[in-house]
Structure 1
């Protein structure tokens, strides 16, 4: 009977105790390795890293995806001859994530040194805009001298840049844009939004994603000053949304030879929902809110006179008995506080009426739209694919150029193929 005691003792042991003893037998290094793998997988998905996909394609990059009408005049005259539109795109291997690219450009990007000549433009309602004309650019000690003053009969092309939300002529990506065009001998001017670029708000009107009047007045002013120079328009982010809406509203009356909309949000309502959907996007939501709140505090003297400033500071605002949580949906919403209060019933109504996707069908100016399929803010879900495939649009104007890689960061594309 004594020989059965060990068996009875083992049978009496709890299965949880057996499992615990087995777990304790596994070396700590194995746990650390497993934890590391979990962290790597999490970060790979959270940061939307695509190095494995790039390696799978042999580092040849992704093919550029074009949405257009092959029979359009624009395609035959321009797109068919533009090599980069028919090549591949490969982001820098160690920046194989839209989030890494964004952080790199913001904190570590080596933007060119750009000198501006400022022109103050006063609007009909008393608002003040800063027009910054590029006069000198320098990159890696290589300087390009640009005309310090544009002659009235100058026939060199003029490019008007419309920056994105809370951006101005000193933003890194705006400097890259200005440098790229100025070094080719074109005259470049950045049309800063109201209250940005070091200029105060001098009227009761603020800019927003659907406000095209300032752009219209600036374009008319530049065109009247330099009637012989062909005018081109480039907009980024919110500036691209304003650009497309302006071209649609003015149609054939717009004195623009050609335009480019870079990283347009297209549908503001979809983008608003998108940046509240995932954890990574909520960081951008918060960053946008901080920028907009800084903009509001910069012009507190005007906003406090026109709005419920205490509500703004607390992050909420009463509007037509609707409590808008400004810190919940920050993409444009906080910055358009006044226009929403005075014109639109709700913020979502403002989004719908200001979205350029509703206007792109009326554009008659040659327009190149550049978007990134993995843009962390302006989601590809908002791109108006069907509108851009319609013959009546593309015959006269539109070509959509889509690449993988966060375009606004201007990482050099892979030029194979």
Structure 2
């Protein structure tokens, strides 16, 4: 039987150990470092070597559009940036490095917002942060819709607002309810499909600035909300054009993607931490409306939506919420010129959800995809001081504004109801507007929130007869006695009795009136139909009151038996 031992008495393992001990330690460290670099290169999806191999020319922008699209022929075909290439900053040649750098640093330009507080129909207050460039009432206005965990102070929004304003346009960042340092004052939270707030803001801007063309730019979840709004409104929107940046498109697909790999799960946990931080600022409301213990223990966006969004928005399941709010279901009904930009290596919004065929089928939509870019990052140049997508959007809006292809609102009678689903919660850098108008982050969370009582304003006035000063919205107290219709004049002999009956009727019908007013504002139902319902519902009281008040006047017309009843 052959022995496994060597002539000198050492085993094979011993010989290998002896040989390894003869190799210098520096060689082992170099090998370990090489394996680490290879691992990180693949884990972080770095593409520096690929960029160098292609001569640092970048990858071409791929455009998807309908072959008969006039928007492409008349607008996008004239955009130099969209027909060029995108090359990421060499030291940020990874979607993860770009995304992380954007959120923690971003190198945003300094901006000074002018804040206006806007009161929504349900009594909620949102912050509109403006960058005003001129007093001309024809100056174009760009409405910017933030993402899931963003407000006007976020770096990428400051990049966008600054570049558009530098081009001579007015910019207004429409912060979501509960964000931007404004506390929640109602039981309604926004979610990924909540379009009511955006609809009210756009309609208000159209009323206040009828001569100015209005455009919109949506980012991340804000892009999903914007596209859903455009699909709901169709031809009826006052927007002249829009741009969607890094939209998640299909929330069901995105939910599966963000929980698939280790690196995506890290983003999922980070977003969940941000959402829980936001929820803590509104804990008193969410404790009453949602499952607060479940919110506190949430470790993913799906967990948070299950314990918060589904409860507040009354969705049966999380997947029901995702399906109802996905903008992919509305892209086919978009009737305004829409540019959509997505990066194929987006670590948050997967390429699997991009609606290639739906965009190609709609003549009003042009989809631009790039190989690299990360999520809302797209840093370019050695210094990484600018974002590629911002330049592309500014050029697109400028060409569209000077073309005959801007959308013009076509008023259509709306018999249906908007299925703008209720609530969700978001978070992130909260801001405080100091006396000089500068936007600064709030240091102590929960103590510097602006409440409705702090505003000293009941509503924003839309009085067109009162001129604006330096672009500031005129604010006035709402008079509770306005628009109240008094009772019919009665004879002096019955004045006291009539007043008592009128007061009783008013007390009993006030809840009905409030409900009808809410229905009318929310669902846009015909007021004649609501008046008919009101009369039928309150006829016993109303009929008795009228017969008593007009008893003497009706004696010559009605039988005596009727008057004795």
TM-score band by shorter chain is 0.7 to 0.9
Unmatched 5+ stretches in structure 1 = 1-6, 136-145, 316-325
- Please give the root-mean-square deviation of Cα atoms over the aligned residues, in Å: 2.1
Q: CA-to-partner distance for each residue in 1:148-193, whole Å, 9 max, x for gaps?
A: xx56xx1111110000012111111111110110011111101000
Larger mean CA deviation between 164-173 and 278-287 belongs to 278-287
Give 1:228's match in structure 2, choosing from 211, 223, 235: 211
Q: How does 1:185-264 map to 2 (within 5 A)?
A: 185-264=168-247
Q: Which secondary structure does the structure 1 equivalent of 2:127 belong to? A: strand
Partner of residue 368, structure 1: 339
Q: CA deviation at 1:106?
A: 2.5
Tell me the equivalent position of 1:406: 374
Q: What is the CA distance between 1:259 and its match in structure 2?
A: 0.2
Q: Is the counterpart of residue 55 in structure 1 residue 52 in structure 2?
A: yes
TM-score (norm 2): 0.64
- Greater strand proportion: 1
Residue range with higher mean Cα deviation, 168-177 or 8-17? 8-17
Confirm or deny that 1:334 pairs with 2:331: no
Aligned to 2:318: 347
Normalised by the length of structure 1, the TM-score is 0.86
Mapped to 2, the partners of 1:299 and 1:289 lie a distance apart of 16
What stretches of structure 1 move > 3 A for 4+ residues in a row?
Answer: 335-339, 412-415
Residues 199 and 335 of structure 1: CA distance in aligned 2, closer, same or farther (over 3 Å) = farther
Aligned equivalents of 1:55 and 1:127: distance in 2?
A: 52
- Deviation, 1:273, is 1.5
SS in 1 for 2:111: strand
Distance 2:140 2:268 in 1: 37
Question: Match for residue 499 of structure 2?
Answer: none
Query: Alpha-carbon deviation of 1:25?
Result: 2.5
Q: Could you give the per-residue CA deviations for residues 61-90 of structure 1, whole angstroms, max 9, x where no partner exists?
A: 001111112321001101111111111110
Distance across 2 between alignment mates of 1:379 and 1:41: 24
1:17 maps to which residue?
14
Please identify, of 177-186 and 335-344, the stretch whose mean Cα deviation from structure 2 is larger.
335-344
Could you say which structure has the larger radius of gyration? 2
| Displacement after TM superposition at 1:11 (Å) | 7.4
**In structure 2, distance between residues paired with 1:189 and 1:251:** 23
What is the distance in 2 between the residues matched to 1:21 and 1:224? 85
Contact 2:294/2:304, CA 8 A, preserved across alignment: no
| Conserved 8 A contact 2:291-2:307 | no
Return the offset for 1:94.
1.0
Aligned length: 379
1:337 & 1:161 partners in 2: Cα distance? 29
3-state SS of paired residue (2:38): helix
Alignment partner of 1:270 is 2:241: no
Match runs of 1:88-107 below 5 Å: 88-107=85-104
Measured in 2, the distance between the counterparts of 1:268 and 1:47 equals 24
Name the SS of the counterpart of 1:29 in structure 2. Answer: helix
| 1:320 equivalent in structure 2 | none
- CA shift, 1:369, in A, is 0.3
